[in-house]
Each structure stands twice: as C-alpha cells, then as structure tokens.
Structure 1
Amino acid sequence: MKLQEWLVNGGAEGLNWLQLEDFPDTGRGVKTLRPLKSHDVVLTIPGSFLWTTDAATSDPVIGTVIRSVEPPLSVEDILAVFLLFIKSCKTGYDGRRAHVELLPTSYTASIFFSDEELEICSGSSLYHLTQKLKQQIRDDYIQLLTNLFSKHPDLFPLGRFTQDDYMWALCTIWSRGMDFQLPDRQFRCIAPFADMLNHSLDVELCHVYDPQLNRLQILAGKDYEPGEQVFINYGSVPNNRLLRLYGFILPDNPHDSYDLVLTTDSQAPLYSQKVALLESIGLQVNSTFSLKLKDPLPLNVLQYLRIQRLTLEEISTMPARHGAKDRISVSNEAEILKALDEACKNLLSGFGISLEKLEEKVDSGTYQKGSNAWAAAHVSISEQKILKATLQKVEELLALVICANCGKESNKRCSRCRKVVYCGADCQKSHYKEHKAFCKAAGE
C-alpha cells in the first residue's frame, strides 16, 4: 500500500491537493495543486500515524522488549530502534514501510563528512560538536548492542542494525522530527508526508500538534499559487546547527551565531555568593550565550563575567547594582574585558583556515556550491565574522577603561572623541601623535 493511500484511508486530510516532487534547489519537497491562503490548513495527520515513543513502546512485537531495557532508552534511541525495526521487516507494517521507502538512503549531516571536509571548519563550534557527536554515537551504539540488539538477535539481526544503520536512523530523526512543548512534557514525532516539507525563512512557523485531538497539522505559512513548493519554518536555526542536524546551510543566514560557554569553578573564591547573584538575574553557573553579528557582545555576557570576577569588597555592593547591569568598578571591567579580548583572539587563532582564505575559496568556486566543503566553509566564515565583531566590540569597551598610552586602568576620557581614556595629561600628550587622526575623525 502506498504512503498516500495508507494516510488517506486512515483519515489524513490534504493529500488530494499535495504532491511530492523533486525541486532543483531543495531536492524532494511538496507541491500544492491548488491555491492556498496564509494559515489555511494544508495537511492533517492523525496521531496514530506518527512515529512516537508511545507507538514504539506499544508495538505488539518489540514494545515489551524496548520497555524492558535497563537503563531505559532515550527518546532518540527508541525512535531509532523503531525505524530500523520497520526498515528490516519484509512483511507487515505496510504503511510505515511505505514511508521508510521514501526516506533518503543517505544524509549530508556533518557526521558523514570526510576528515578533509570537516577540517575546513576546524576551530568552529560545528567542528568540535561534530567530533563529540561522532564519539557519542559510537558509545550509544555499543550500549544498544550490549543491552538490546545482542540479546534479541531474532528481532534485531545485527546485519541490519549496524552502527551505520544507527547513524542513518538518528539523522532521520534529527532532520525530519518535529518537537513540541506540551504542558506536561516535550513531545517529539516524525509525521509521514509532512516530513517531506522543506525549510524556508520566508514563511511563518506553521506546524502544530493538538494533544487533545491527537493530530498534527501543517498550516500555510504564506499564500501559495498552484504548482509552488510548500515550506515550513524550522525556527531560528543557525547554520552550524542546520548542517549538524539537517545536512544543509542557508547562505547569509540571519540566525547564525557563535555559542560562547561560560562556567565558574566550584573552588573559585566566593563561589556560593556568586552563584546566588547569577541566579538572581536568570543566569546559571554554566551558561551558554549566543553571539550574533547584530549583537556580538550581549549584556548578559558582561553581567556574568562581572559577577564571576567580583572581589570580597565589591560583592557587598551587588544588590544595589541590579545584577551588574552597570560597571562594578574600573578594575573589574578592565579585568573581564582583557579576559574576553584574550579569549576571542585565542578562539580566532584556533580556526584552521582564515576567514579571508575561506571567502576567496568560496568566491572562486574552489569549493563547489552545495558541496560539503562549501557548506563547512560557510559555517566557519560566519563564526569567524561573529568572533571578529565580538573582538572589535571588546576592544572598543576596553579602550574606555585602560589608558591608551600606558595600559593602566583609568576612566578619564578624551574630551574630544570620548573613545579612549588616559591616566592624565602626561599620557595624553605622549599619545597625541598616534591618537590625533582617530580623534579628529571620531569628533567629526
């Protein structure tokens, strides 16, 4: 039984005017055969057809076995096992097997890159996360092999449940799964046919799950004419995540970011007081901050670092300072900005290929458009641009707390440009020849 027949017979709606098609830019996608207005219901999939953990654990053949695994399987592993089990079946499960047959046989997520392709973005968050993810996959597969597959070879023949098969199943879940925050839990599912819809930033978020009616609906994220490809919006996803989980990137992605991780050692002086102050402004001791081109140095990064570097004398004044929204002291500000300056420079020096060389290779076509190398280059370019913007912002702020001539802490600004500070008249005079042109331009 074909996928559409299975879904239609089960109560799915909308398939009469939707058609799978291969598009030149996105590959396989969904075309509408009739006009659609924004927020029209495009497609409705009853919950009984969704790939979910409930469907897997209640399956009459493997449900009991999955439920009995200790320690319990993660959501991803339950879905991966369910997918691979259906894929391995020769009979039964006609509808689900029809869906599996339409799934890609391979993916272009970064875990499948060759070492040479991945090295193009070395130094980036994508590079480090991909390396960790590959190791995590190896470790998780060994656990599955030990706790499930080897104990039930009749259900999970090892020739069809290899590590490569497991990686394929995980990429299917990452690239085609939909996540919803329900009142009592996080809900993840794969919706047959709906998972063929491609991503576009030009449409509104338009997929919803109704737990009361147990159905998933796709709404039109904009107006469509007959023959146009229908899209959904995955959300504000940066390229480093798109390539890691979905296997593609968007050039000039406005949501690109660099994730800066800050943490404070539990043995640090005044640790408990600092943790309390961080929590009072909504920050955790282990926090990740998204740096973006439009906001390369968010205020909460400075707030975190100001609290992290507090002295005993300074910490007593914190309640009156609204969680370090403003400078605590010149010395505190100078210390955190110097640390940030050094961190940004170290991060940038860690990239294997410089921003300028990567841009040259992309512009010249050395990395063929759409290739893995081209995608990796775009991720590295974006992250390096963000870090350079962060470094520039840090240096601008640092110039306001250390003397431009001798580097000592100060808060006496140049009266003309207000962009640098000096210890006093002697340092200002000594630095005048170097500062003259900049000061004049800044004051214009």
Structure 2
Amino acid sequence: MAEATRILHTTLIPAFSQNPSPHLKPPFSHSQALFKKNPVRCSITTSNTDTSRSTNITQQEIPWGCDIDSPENAAALQKWLTQNGLPPQKMEIQKVEVGERGLVALKNIRKAEKLLFVPPSLFITADSEWSCPEAGEVLKRNNVPDWPLLATYLISEASFMNSSRWTNYISALPRQPYSLLYWTREELDRYLEASQIRERAIERINNVTGTYSDLRLRIFSKYPNLFPEEVFNMETFKWSFGILFSRLVRLPSMDGRVALVPWADMLNHSCEVDTFLDYDKSSQGVVFTTDRPYQPGEQVFISYGKKSNGELLLSYGFVPREGTNPRDSVELSLSIKKSDKCYKEKLEALKKHGLSIPQCFPLQITGWPLELMAYAYLAVSPPSMSKQFDKMAAAASNKSTSKKDIRYPEIEEQALQFILDSCESSISKYTKFLQASGSMDLDVTSPKQLNRKLFLKQLAVDLSTTERRILFRAQYILRRRLRDMRSGELKALTIFNGLLKYFK
C-alpha cells in the first residue's frame, strides 16, 4: 500500500493478536524467507493448451512488480481499472513527497465525502479465479488458510504474465517493499539491537519461512508441474508475503474478509487522519469517508490503524517524523530475576495465565497499562505475599475477573523502582546505538549497497529516537513519583521522631 516515506531505488531486493484492526493490514497469524541479495527473478514456461508449467518450453523472465516511480505502470493500472469497472474518480496516481507514489485529489473534496467505490469484481480474495485452476484446487483441497493461499495466488498469477487478468496490477506493485521482512539478520541485530521490534521481525520472518517450508513439503514437492521450484521458492514467497503484509485489507462489513483492493492500496498513511477502508453495502464497493477537505493537487490519506512507529516500520518500511504519531509506543521488557526466592512460584503463576519471563508491555508518552504495573508488583513481591501471586499474574495478563486497578501500597515504591530500572536499562541501549550510529562502519563497497545501508540505518535512527523519547518521558514520571513518595515518607518520619522526642 504505502511505500516508505523515503524509498531507496535500487535493483536489489534486500535480504531478508488476534482481534485484527478493522483498518488496513491485519497481522499474519497462521502456522507458518531467508535473506538473499539477488533480485526476485524466476523463469517459467507457458503453454497455450495447458495451464501446468513445463521447463521444456522456452523460458521467459517474470517481472515482479516495478520501481516505485514508474509512471508507465501506474498509468497502465489506472487504464486497466477503468476498463474493468472502476467508476470515475476524484483522484489519480501521482508521484508524491510522502510515500513516493499516492492518490492525489483532482477536484475539491469535501469533509465526510465518500471516495473510491472499488467494486468486488476488482478484489483479490481467497475465492478469486486462478489462471491455473488446478493449482487453486490443490491448495483448497489441502485446506490452506487465506494468507498462504493468497501469497501463492500472487506468485502464480505473476508467473502467467500477460495471460493473467491481474498482470497490470502485479506490474504496478513495488518490486521491493521495505518492511523488516527484507532486512538480513545481521542488519536487524546491528541496527535494531535496542528495540523490541527486532524480536517481532525475527518472529515474522520465521513464520514466513515456516509457511513456505510447510507448503513445499506437503504440496509443492508433490505437484512439481503446478508448482515448479523455479517459480515457487523462498524468494518469491518473500516478495508475495511482503505485498500481503503491506497491502492486504480486512473489511469489517464483509465479515472480516481479507482482500487485496487494487487502486485503494495506493493510498498512503497519515497519523493525522482516522478514516479507513471498508465495504459499503449501499454502493457495493470499497470506500472511505474523508475526515478533512482536500484541494486539487493535495495527496489524500487514510489511516493504516492505531499503530506505533515500530509497527509501521515492521510492515510498511517507514517511520513517521518524531512527535507526529499520537499512537506511538515502545515495548518495555520486564523480567523477574532468577535469584528471586520465589522465582519458580512466580513463573508458574505467569505460565498459568499465558505469560512468560521476560514479558513486554507497551509504554506510551501518556503512561503505561495496568498490566505492566501488575507484573511489576509480582516481580518485587516478597514470599509473604505468595497468596497474591496468582491474582497479580492474572491482572498482568488482562484475564483478571476484577477490572479494577489492583494496588499494593506496601510494595508500590519497589514496583515503581523496578519499572524505572528497566526503563533506564533500555534507555542506555538506545543511547549507545545512537551515539555509535554516527561513526558506524557500513563495510560495503557497492554504491547501491551503500545507499541501502544508509537508508536502513536512518530508519533505525528515526525509530530509536522516537522510542527513546517515550522512555525518557516514562523515566521522568517515575522519578517524580518516587521522589514525592520518598519526601512524604521522610516528612512523616520527621514528624514521628519529633513526637517521640516530645513524649520522651
């Protein structure tokens, strides 16, 4: 959907809950890439009489998307959409400053006006017709879930090139999305060592890798004519899942169905808008309702959901400017020490409620969740409070029967100090990275790779700066609260000592 705020143009493809938001891009959650620096280029053969592949026929190179700034592909997509039922629009695809390519207003657009009206015939869903029907039947017969099925569908349709109905759409997709799927493990370790998004990225990469391995073992290897490895391989799945993560839409009014919606997925994200895509039953198409007016020539935006800067980098490959995302947060990792006298008992209580050691909680500029405080209480609680361990763990997991904030005044100071120590430990990691980033040796010789490394490093610096800012705010609040508590205790102790001397 939206390209990065600053896209690096090279020919290289970088190595690489439920309750989804009704906005764009639901998280990948099925059972489930690795990192090569070569372009995704596969060869297949096509036959006019048979939809199965055969390597004995003359091979052709498959184009996997295009460079973001390709006006020819954008124009071809717009023409194709119009020919296939897209009604006249008040927007068109243009080069833009935010996102490199987006939809720009052609006429005055009012606030609360409905735009787009993309009909269902232009959606790509799990029920879409395959250019190779046999391949689709095999996947459905094996009960492949929607996400991997759609990933395979994209690859299959790309391989049929002009024989596929979707060739104009696929040709207009980005050749190299910049989500964290495409960072190497070395790059993740080096640039995101301070951020918990690194762990999320590794988990996502492992999920995609596992998905491909599972499909290859259970299906692709058994039907090589339908799924030749020259086309259906780790590189192409890396590309197709990157497209899904950044462009797939969940439509609440269609019972939460997921779909790729050509044209609509050219809209870029802004933290300043709250409007999102959905299916409109009255107009029978995907629409969004503007929450502000637009003048001709202005880029039109939607929201990808209430996501932190780290989540936006994870899926879409960009980081909003510091201080512009009101939903920004940073994951703070808390951990109970193994030297704790009640470590085993606390671990059992956490496991009972689906938690682990360590556990991450989101910090926002405005504060932190009750679950984080409950975990801190559990971490500092002495053996004499063992009967409260289960209640604390339940509250930390948000599974407590009581929705009220739990409080333990006798250990509140220790709990706040525990959180403060964790904040300061995390801050030191960010500070170390940011101080080193200015003189970081990129160790590359190719100009293209150098540009890419600089681009990734800048994204990491932007993310680290915004996440450290939130931690600094939490540190300030915690220090002030602890100071007030301790000054109050000191004052009470002074009064008590005065009374004691008086009575003596």
How many Å apart are 1:236 and its aligned residue? 2.1
Aligned to 1:258: 330
How many Å apart are 1:312 and its aligned residue? 4.6
Amino acid at match of 2:105: T
Aligned to 1:13: 87
Q: 2:419 aligns with which of 340, 360, 363?
A: 340
Aligned to 2:195: 124
* 1:89 equivalenced with 2:173 (yes/no): no
Amino acid at match of 2:120: G
How many Å apart are 1:316 and its aligned residue? 12
Q: Which has the higher contact order (CA 8 A, sep 6+)?
A: 2
How many Å apart are 1:374 and its aligned residue? 0.9
* 1:134 equivalenced with 2:205 (yes/no): yes
What do residues 158-217 of structure 1 show as CA deviations (whole Å, max 9, x unaligned)?
11222111111111111112223358x532211011111111223331422246875311
How many Å apart are 1:38 and its aligned residue? 1.6
Aligned to 2:54: none
Tell me how far apart the structure 1 counterparts of residues 128 and 413 of structure 2 sit (CA, whole Å): 57
Q: Which runs of 5+ in 2 are unaligned?
A: 1-74, 337-341, 396-401, 441-449, 499-504
Contact residue 252 and residue 278 of structure 2 kept, 8 A? no
CA pair 91-111 structure 1, distance change in 2 beyond 3 A: closer
Tell me how far apart the structure 1 counterparts of residues 390 and 184 of structure 2 sit (CA, whole Å): 54
* 1:225 equivalenced with 2:299 (yes/no): no
Aligned residues: 395
> TM-score scaled to structure 2, two decimals?
0.67
SS at match of 1:53: coil
Amino acid at match of 1:292: Q
Aligned to 1:174: 245
Tell me how far apart the structure 1 counterparts of residues 273 and 99 of structure 2 sit (CA, whole Å): 15
What is the correspondence of 1:92-171 to structure 2 with a 5 Å cutoff? Answer: 92-94=163-165, 96-114=166-184, 117-118=187-188, 119-171=190-242
Q: 1:268 aligns with which of 345, 350, 373?
A: 345
Q: 2:103 aligns with which of 30, 52, 65?
A: 30
Contact residue 56 and residue 78 of structure 1 kept, 8 A? no
Contact residue 99 and residue 192 of structure 1 kept, 8 A? yes
SS at match of 1:37: coil
* 1:190 equivalenced with 2:270 (yes/no): no
Tell me how far apart the structure 2 counterparts of residues 304 and 324 of structure 1 sit (CA, whole Å): 15
Contact residue 423 and residue 471 of structure 2 kept, 8 A? yes
Q: Which range moved further: 368-377 or 150-159?
A: 368-377
Tell me how far apart the structure 2 counterparts of residues 271 and 155 of structure 1 sit (CA, whole Å): 49
* 1:67 equivalenced with 2:140 (yes/no): yes
Tell me how far apart the structure 2 counterparts of residues 187 and 236 of structure 1 sit (CA, whole Å): 20
Q: Which range moved further: 337-346 or 77-86?
A: 337-346
Aligned to 1:432: none
Q: 1:235 aligns with which of 302, 305, 320?
A: 305
Aligned to 1:208: 278
How many Å apart are 1:18 and its aligned residue? 2.8
Contact residue 137 and residue 167 of structure 1 kept, 8 A? yes
CA pair 158-58 structure 1, distance change in 2 beyond 3 A: closer
Q: 1:329 aligns with which of 406, 409, 434?
A: 409
What do residues 60-104 of structure 1 show as CA deviations (whole Å, max 9, x unaligned)?
3432111122xx43332111111111101134332x111001111
Contact residue 306 and residue 333 of structure 1 kept, 8 A? yes
* 1:301 equivalenced with 2:372 (yes/no): yes
What do residues 375-418 of structure 1 show as CA deviations (whole Å, max 9, x unaligned)?
111111222222233333333334455x68xxxxxx62437xxx
Contact residue 94 and residue 103 of structure 2 kept, 8 A? yes
Contact residue 105 and residue 297 of structure 2 kept, 8 A? yes
Contact residue 94 and residue 102 of structure 2 kept, 8 A? yes
Q: Which range moved further: 123-132 or 302-311?
A: 302-311
Amino acid at match of 1:55: S
Tell me how far apart the structure 2 counterparts of residues 147 and 167 of structure 1 sit (CA, whole Å): 19
* 1:374 equivalenced with 2:458 (yes/no): yes
Amino acid at match of 1:33: L
Contact residue 23 and residue 29 of structure 1 kept, 8 A? yes
Tell me how far apart the structure 2 counterparts of residues 243 and 214 of structure 1 sit (CA, whole Å): 33
Aligned to 1:393: 477
Tell me how far apart the structure 2 counterparts of residues 53 and 305 of structure 1 sit (CA, whole Å): 44
SS at match of 2:301: strand
Contact residue 400 and residue 413 of structure 1 kept, 8 A? no
How many Å apart are 1:352 and its aligned residue? 7.9
Tell me how far apart the structure 1 counterparts of residues 346 and 495 of structure 2 sit (CA, whole Å): 30
Tell me how far apart the structure 2 counterparts of residues 113 and 313 of structure 1 sit (CA, whole Å): 46
Tell me how far apart the structure 2 counterparts of residues 357 and 324 of structure 1 sit (CA, whole Å): 44
Aligned to 1:43: 116
Q: Which runs of 5+ in 1 are unaligned?
A: 279-283, 405-410, 416-420, 427-444
Of all paired residues, the percent bearing the same amino acid is 24
Amino acid at match of 2:416: L
Contact residue 117 and residue 284 of structure 2 kept, 8 A? no
How many Å apart are 1:288 and its aligned residue? 5.6
What do residues 256-296 of structure 1 show as CA deviations (whole Å, max 9, x unaligned)?
21124669999526967x999x9xxxxx757863211222x
Aligned to 2:31: none
> TM-score scaled to structure 1, two decimals?
0.75
CA pair 39-145 structure 1, distance change in 2 beyond 3 A: same
Contact residue 176 and residue 190 of structure 1 kept, 8 A? yes
Contact residue 108 and residue 372 of structure 1 kept, 8 A? no
